[in-house]
Amino acid sequence: MNVAVIGTGYVGLVAGACLAETGHDVVCVDIDEEKVRKLWDGIIPIYEPGLEEIVKRNVDEKRLSFTTDTAEAVRAASVVFIAVGTPPDEDGSADLKHVLGVARAIGQAMDGEKVVITKSTVPVGTARKVREAIEAETEHRVHVCSNPEFLKEGAAVDDFMKPDRVVVGVDHPVAEAALRELYEPFLRTGNSLLVMDVPSAEITKYAANSMLATRISFMNMISRLCEATGADVDMVRKGVGSDSRIGSSFLFPGVGYGGSCFPKDVKALIRTSRELGVPAEILEAVESVNEVQKRTLLDRVVARFGEDLSGRAFAVWGLAFKPNTDDMREAPSLVTIAGLLERGAKVVAHDPEAGDEARRILGDSIELRDVNYDTLDGAEALIIHTEWLPYRRPNFDQLRDRLRAPIIFDGRNLYAPERMAAMGFEYHSIGRNPVGV
């Protein structure tokens, strides 16, 4: 099948590369000429395990190509994906100007019947607006579908190639047949293709991410109760997660969720609910808990060292909002770092992949090190934000020797408090009693 994917961001590039991997002829479109040149040269703009190899292989085998010419790509394709960004507007709603701009360009380029699929995360009713925008520009027949993505950053290639389900919203048999053909190679192991109406598919994406965000905020709220009562949140998590009706996923306490999906999608679903007069108290609480939780490590550092941190240095391990990505959008580390800098502290940080992104966002306001242990020299304490594998089993002797004092603020509960106490550390974690204080 000939496929055009408009937008080479996180979703578009993964979708285009994985569709090419199963034999489809895919053209990825972007208006950024430099980005397109780099993609032809095999330079990937994001860090995603396995993606670079798939892109290079399919370019070499001539199933995947890149262009800035939207019209040419649309005319050559029978199926067109819209995968451009939908950043949150000031009121929290999804900004659809890029999506609708692409829709108009598709309509202007159409030379025959097309299936157009919204892959971008969009609020309910967007497919109708996309159809109207396309039909205003063409007399050719168009089928507009919703195909929300459920990719986890850091595991996106595996998620696309081996989905636990594929959700499609269609309103015509032609569109359903095209999507079944498109996704058939990914469903050979029996995973589900869930066909539904378009509005249901649009809501499914927001509802799924909001449910996961709710579980995270719920457990973070429980972690505060554990700290107030002396309970151990790890024991509580195991007790709750062992219930088959609940399960253990997304019940790990931490410093809050971030990234490109959860914060934006929760805000957008709140906004949509308000516009329709539907109360969204649970989601409003989820968002409120998360904003407070992002300050957890900063508040503990301030409680330990005081409001004035002038002349003090702090080591930070982990800048990305989660491991196996370089994405720092809405990352809790940014809240901690901003608070430290405002109080006069020096920040020396390490992240295995997010260094370039940190330089783009933070400039020279912090120092970055290529080796995580090199952040420790002279630091008052180590602050951990991201559970990268190299941080899980560090050389504790180096930590103890190179820090000014053996103090760790762990936002991901990587270590056992009893062990930390036995090794002489002052150790603060989430939902567990501090030790060595």
The answer to whether 102 touches 83, Cβ cutoff 8 Å, is: no
The torsion of the CA quartet 164, 271, 81, 100, rounded to 10 degrees, works out to 180
Residue corresponding to tokens 């024991």: 235
The pTM of the full predicted model, rounded to 2 decimals, is: 0.90
pLDDT value at position 192?
87
pLDDT in tens, 86-111: 877 766 677 889 999 999 999 999 99
Dihedral-angle region of residue 125 (phi above 0 means left; psi in -120 to 50 means alpha; beta otherwise): left
pLDDT value at position 91?
66
The helix (H) or strand (E) run that includes residue 66 is strand 64-67
Amino acid type, 52? E
Candidates 218, 392, 360, 346; CA nearest to 289 is 218
- Domains delineated in the chain: 2-196 (3.40.50.720), 206-292 (1.10.1040.10), 294-428 (3.40.50.720)
3-state secondary structure of 349: strand
pLDDT value at position 56?
95
Amino acid type, 120? S
| Residue 400 token pair | 């103890």
Q: Which residues are catalytic?
A: 261
The torsion of the CA quartet 363, 366, 367, 373, rounded to 10 degrees, works out to -130
Q: What share of the chain is helix, strand, coil (3-state, %, to 5)?
A: 45, 15, 40
3-state secondary structure of 79: strand
Residue corresponding to tokens 């498109």: 182
Contacts of 156 (CB under 8 A, 6+ apart): 10, 14, 48, 51
Contacts of 236 (CB under 8 A, 6+ apart): 222, 226, 431
The torsion of the CA quartet 123, 127, 132, 136, rounded to 10 degrees, works out to 110
pLDDT value at position 92?
67
Stretches where the chain sits below pLDDT 50 are none
| Gap between the Cα atoms of 173 and 184, Å rounded | 16
Candidates 355, 347, 411, 413; CA nearest to 380 is 347
| Gap between the Cα atoms of 217 and 288, Å rounded | 9
| Residue 53 token pair | 């190899």
Candidates 425, 254, 318; CA nearest to 434 is 425
